A and B are shown apart, each in its own frame.
Chain A
Amino acid sequence: MAATIHHTLSVLVENKAGVLARVSNLFARRGYNIYSLAVAPTDDPALSRITVVVDVAPELLEQVVKQLHKLINVIKISELDPADSVERELALITVQAAPAARHQIIELTEVFGGRIEDVGFDELTISVAESPERLDDLASLLAPYGILSMQRTGRVALPKLERTPPPGLRIAG
């Protein structure tokens, strides 16, 4: 078996019953695991975007993408290279926070750009929207305090924007 790596596919589909089942079935019938999944309508409510992270060998990915294209309800597919895209996941984490430790946890949360969502007597629930790697880092840092539960959404991603200005462009001002 060839090595599998995570691939992020952004699939624009019609926002209709059964479409997600069609998409996930293409992975399931080939024995490929869906690692993470996020689905929501786009700015056009007739369309949804499925962001799916799959474990699949690169040489097999092309065939899956072509098969996805064959689905009648699929409109567009792009593969997002992690190096060339902005990826975010949201995590909700409930962590043990005795009054003495609370301050350190709040500080960590701030460093990661998160928020305290809920405060209990000796627990805190925090939310952080970050790249998957940064969320892993935060989880490791919180682990010693005692993570009581953690829920992560599927990953959403968009390609990075073009940085070189078109030739001849002059910025006024």
Chain B
Amino acid sequence: MSQPPPQPGDRIDGGRALIRSLELEGVEVVFGLPGGAILPVYDPIIDSPIRHILVRHEQGAGHMAEGYAHATGRPGVAMVTSGPGATNIVTPLCDAYMDSIPMVCITGQVPFPAIGTDAFQEADTVGITRSVTKHNELVTRAEDIPRVIREAFHIATTGRPGPVLVDIPKDIVDPTKPASAMEWYWPTDDEVSAGLPGYRPTTKGHPRKIKEAAELISRSRRPVLYVGGGILKARAAEVLRELAELTGIPVVTTLMARGAFPDDHELCLGMPGMHGNYTAVTAMQEADLLVALGARFDDRVTGRLDGFAPDAKIIHVDVDPAELGKVRTPDVPIVGDCRQVIGELVRTITNLGGRDAQADRSEWRQRISGWQETYPLTYAPSEPGELLKPQFVLEQLRDLSPEDTIVASGVGQHQMWASQYWTFRHPYTWINSGGLGTMGFSVPAAIGAKVGMPDRTVWAIDGDGCFQMTAQEMVTAATERIPIKVAILNNAYLGMVRQWQEMFYDERYSEVYLSPDLPDYVKWAEAMGCVALRVESPEEVGPAIEKANDIDDRPVVLEFRTDSSEKVFPMVPAGRTNSEIVVGPSGGEGGR
């Protein structure tokens, strides 16, 4: 029988207080796996409206929480036990930290008096996770639980979002232990804020800097809006579009920002960076102004730094002051929330005369469309009898799936092709591990996304190598009836590494071959409760995808046998400047 919710002043135990705190934070789902130290918290879950999804490995719980947060914008929550449970979730925490994903992770800990004694399943969780979380906290008293949980959600979701870990010793949540006794309360916003005297994220941009930026934008002849994942975190896609359309400035969307601006918009140049398209890379390189919006000048975007966008002035808008000047010194730094700052920019530019007051950019537009015509993304279609081209598979997937499909990708060649060949029309339709590049991300991230967005089609686009890292979560998907779809691009290789060995290590292939047949992906997927199909010829591709899209009561796995010799192009070789972009397998450098 479920108890009525506690009232302020009621005597309750820390375990119930923890679950009640999660309910009050609006948590609808927790991804996790129990164990000794977290057991007392798993008991009150039975009586809570919160859905718990039992994963098969704690890494899965972490990536599911991330996928959920990516897709919904709400913080993802994972809960695991002490020791190995906690160490298993370190990778997702680091992943979420690198990609600024709001996430709250609750770990069990050995009883407080046992901490430091090398107790069974004891690990120094706050020590281990200190540098991969935005904040973490070891709670030492039951009465601190509601406050720490509120603070955790506040920190995870405000300013630059990120993962927060709360480590909970067993005795303060175990109703049989005196240390778990407390009086229920729920802290107010003011109390939360007073408890965090050092945490005051700046959200409003400095008006003088915004004016300077508006003037610089209006004057510039070769500007580019360089859009990063921060736009999505700030829910700023709409106002970004206003800015682009008001000024007529072309937009590049980084790997973390795909979907923040529609790919089919005339101003969209697509993805820049190491595997970006020629036009996006070159437009940045030739620009006289880069307006960096929630982007962080990652090395995969800039290429060799001393040759990056040599003529460009920089306007840099970011909610995290530490990003400004970290890589490239901005001419106009603006600390603030992207949605607010871009809104202010739009107003200021409008007051300065709007579209009519913009410098003449007809020559810039012409050069850009020239590049687009000369250097489109291309690949050679397969000859009869050859293995499938991965690009062809992705085009078919794109064209045969609903336009608001959510795509979650693994890490490797398939990730780059997915980003290149999909047409993203909506924000929050692309979920990937950008900063950490975590193989195995896609399956659990897709599950988390589908849990958060049950009415949307969710495709995981995975590599054969990646799939083998977290495939066990297909069991979770099947058990919990989370009907995601997985496309494995089986090229029998750790393809991205193979590509580097082919291009930069004289084709000396070292430890990258995986075999196309072992494991048998179809049998494996079926054993995990999925519908599975193997696809080997181009004619089978469309029908298989359509069949998969029609199934929505079970997870589906499609294994596509793809050509292992196919490489991702364009490519800016590591250590080179973006002007040395290689557009295709013939090795031709794009002319300038």
Contact = CB atoms under 8 A, between A and B. Distances in A.
B326 interface: yes
A17 B144 CA distance: 14
B321 A72 contact: no
Nearest to B327: A63
B197 A14 contact: yes
**Which residue among B126, B130, B196 has the maximum number of chain A CB atoms within 10 Å of its CB?**
B130
Interface string A61-103: 0110011011111111000000000000000000000000000
B199 interface: yes
B90 to A, nearest CB: 15
B322 A67 contact: yes
Interface stretch (A18-26, A114-122, A124-132, A155-163): A18-26
B130 A17 contact: no
B515 to A, nearest CB: 39
B155 interface: yes
A81 B135 CA distance: 30
Given A25-B130, A75-B198, A17 B138 contact: yes
A63 B326 CA distance: 7
Given A18-B138, A63-B322, A72 B196 contact: yes
Given A70-B322, A72-B198, A25 B138 contact: no
A29 interface: yes
B193 to A, nearest CB: 12
Given A25-B130, A72-B135, A14 B198 contact: yes
B199 A69 contact: no
B131 A25 contact: yes
A21 B126 CA distance: 10
B161 to A, nearest CB: 13
Contacts of B127: 21
A70 B197 contact: no
Interface in B154-207: 155, 196-199
Contacts of B155: 72
**Which residue among A18, A21, A62 has the maximum number of chain B CB atoms within 10 Å of its CB?**
A18
A151 B121 CA distance: 40
B325 interface: yes
B288 to A, nearest CB: 26
A73 B137 CA distance: 11
Interface string B128-157: 001100110010100000000000000100
B320 interface: yes
Interface in B76-94: none
Contacts of B135: 72
Nearest to A75: B198
Interface in B303-328: 320-322, 325-326
A67 to B, nearest CB: 6
Nearest to A26: B131
A69 B320 CA distance: 10
Contacts of A76: 198
Contacts of B134: 72
B321 A66 contact: yes
A72 to B, nearest CB: 5
Contact of B197 (A25, A63, A71, A75): A75
A14 B135 CA distance: 14
Given A25-B131, A69-B322, A18 B197 contact: no
Contacts of B199: 72
B322 A71 contact: no
Interface in B488-505: none
Interface in B83-126: 126
B198 A73 contact: yes
Contacts of A18: 126, 130, 138
A70 B97 CA distance: 13
Interface in B463-503: none
**Which residue among B138, B140, B197, B325 has the maximum number of chain A CB atoms within 10 Å of its CB?**
B197
A13 interface: yes
A42 to B, nearest CB: 13
Interface in A37-62: 62
A25 B132 CA distance: 12
A66 B140 CA distance: 30
A70 B326 contact: no
Contact of A70 (B126, B196, B320): B320
Contacts of A62: 325
B224 to A, nearest CB: 26
Interface of B: 126-127, 130-131, 134-135, 138, 140, 155, 196-199, 320-322, 325-326
Given A21-B130, A72-B196, A75-B198, 18 more contacts: A13-B198, A14-B198, A17-B138, A18-B130, A21-B127, A22-B130, A25-B130, A25-B131, A29-B131, A63-B322, A69-B321, A70-B322, A72-B135, A72-B155, A72-B198, A72-B199, A74-B198, A75-B197
Interface of A: 13-14, 17-18, 21-22, 25, 29, 62-63, 66-67, 69-76
20 contacts: A13-B198, A14-B198, A17-B138, A18-B126, A21-B127, A21-B130, A25-B130, A29-B131, A63-B325, A66-B321, A66-B322, A66-B326, A69-B321, A69-B322, A70-B322, A71-B198, A72-B134, A72-B196, A72-B198, A75-B197
The 10 A-B residue pairs whose C-beta atoms are closest, nearest first, are A66-B322, A75-B198, A72-B135, A74-B198, A72-B199, A75-B197, A73-B198, A67-B322, A66-B321, A70-B322
